[in-house]
């Protein structure tokens, strides 16, 4: 039954009754109809009428609820489809960019290999440095494209052990960071849980965040803090470095984004975008809090599953 037909079915009997009553009143009909009914039957009639009214109300509310649920599902499916198309378009863009940049960089570096550095040492050094920078950028773009599509290889991951391994590896690569990084894992009232995750991808995300902390804080302590959070886990990497300007904090996770005060430090602008992609692949999220000139806290959140 359509909505209009349902409304007519409810309104029409009332309207007909009102018209008949008005006609009788205008005609001067004043006779009264007295119906004698036992009180118990009156209670039964009232109960039946109330039940019918309640049934109508419940039916209408249920239909509206189902309709709203159907609209919500349709909106959610549309959103997911849109996000899927967006991710696929982004992946294709990265693949094309990788392809377009790879060949020119290879040609530049091959040409440099045949030039005598003694002829123009300064120029050759600049060109070689820029070619290496572009090569690193292409590598990061390729890595980001692969991470967006490769299947997760999950296994139980001890996040504290993962963090300590990441710190040890970074200290081997960057001797200036030795003794500055501490890992603090809360154990009271709950320890950090072992979570199902892809250990290689999580290690890559943590490596990028730690590398940023070291790059942008020439001195001062760096803390890696782990805690349980509603059955999931939180990893915070905090430093006392130069910080991120307020106007750049909303875009630092975008591809190729770099804050104005970071241009003097080598980097591709892909690292935090890669971190966000890895956390989203795990159903988690990442956020950044920073104060320019004071330091930065990057928070990685991982759900139970």
At residue 258, the pLDDT reads 72
Provide the residue-wise pLDDT of the chain in tens; the chain has 305 residues. 555 655 555 555 656 666 766 776 677 766 665 555 555 555 555 555 555 655 556 565 566 666 666 766 666 565 455 555 666 665 665 666 665 566 666 666 666 666 666 665 666 666 666 666 666 666 666 776 677 778 889 999 999 999 999 999 999 988 888 889 999 999 988 899 999 999 999 999 999 999 999 988 888 899 999 999 988 999 999 999 889 888 888 888 876 667 766 766 766 677 788 899 999 999 999 999 999 989 999 999 999 86
* Lookup: tokens for 236: 């915070």
The CA distance from 234 to 232, in Å, is 7
Q: How many CA atoms lie within 13 A of 157 on its CB side?
A: 24
The first and second tokens of residue 193, run together, are 């849980």
Residue located via tokens 């004071």: 294
* Domain locations along the chain: 35-150, 155-302
Contact yes or no for 59/3 (Cβ under 8 A): no
213 within 8 A of 239, measured Cβ to Cβ: yes
224 contacts: CB under 8 Å, gap ≥ 6: 163, 166, 167, 181, 182, 183, 184, 210, 235, 236, 237
Q: How many residues does the chain have?
A: 305
Fold category of 155-302 in CATH: Heat Shock Protein 90 (3.30.565)
């Amino acid at each position: 039954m359509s909505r209009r037909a349902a409304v007519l079915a409810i309104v029409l009997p009332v309207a007909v009754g009102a018209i008949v009553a008005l006609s009788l009143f205008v005609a001067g009909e004043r006779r009264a109809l007295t119906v004698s009914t036992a009180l118990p039957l009156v209670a039964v009639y009232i109960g039946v009428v109330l039940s019918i009214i309640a049934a109508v109300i419940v039916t209408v509310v249920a239909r509206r609820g189902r309709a709203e649920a159907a609209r919500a599902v349709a909106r959610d499916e549309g959103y997911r489809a849109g996000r899927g198309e967006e991710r696929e378009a982004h992946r294709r863009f990265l693949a094309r960019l990788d392809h377009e940049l790879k060949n020119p960089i290879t040609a530049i570096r091959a040409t440099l290999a045949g030039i005598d550095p003694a002829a123009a040492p300064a120029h050759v050094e600049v060109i070689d440095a820029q070619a290496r920078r572009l090569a690193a950028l292409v590598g990061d773009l390729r890595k980001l494209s692969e991470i967006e599509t490769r299947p997760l290889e999950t296994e139980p991951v001890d996040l504290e052990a993962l963090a300590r391994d990441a710190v040890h590896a970074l200290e081997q690569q960057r001797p200036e960071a030795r003794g500055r990084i501490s890992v603090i894992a809360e154990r009271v009232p709950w320890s950090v849980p072992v979570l199902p995750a892809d250990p290689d991808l999580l290690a890559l995300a943590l490596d990028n965040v730690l590398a940023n902390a070291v790059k942008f804080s020439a001195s001062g302590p760096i803390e890696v803090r782990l805690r349980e959070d509603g059955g999931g886990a939180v990893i915070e990497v905090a430093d006392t470095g130069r910080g991120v300007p307020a106007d750049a904090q909303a875009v630092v996770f975008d591809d190729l984004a770099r804050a104005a005060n970071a241009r003097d430090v080598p980097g591709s602008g892909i690292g935090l975008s890669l971190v966000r992609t890895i956390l989203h692949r795990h159903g988690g999220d990442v956020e950044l809090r920073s104060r320019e000139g004071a330091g930065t806290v990057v928070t990685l959140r991982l759900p139970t599953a």
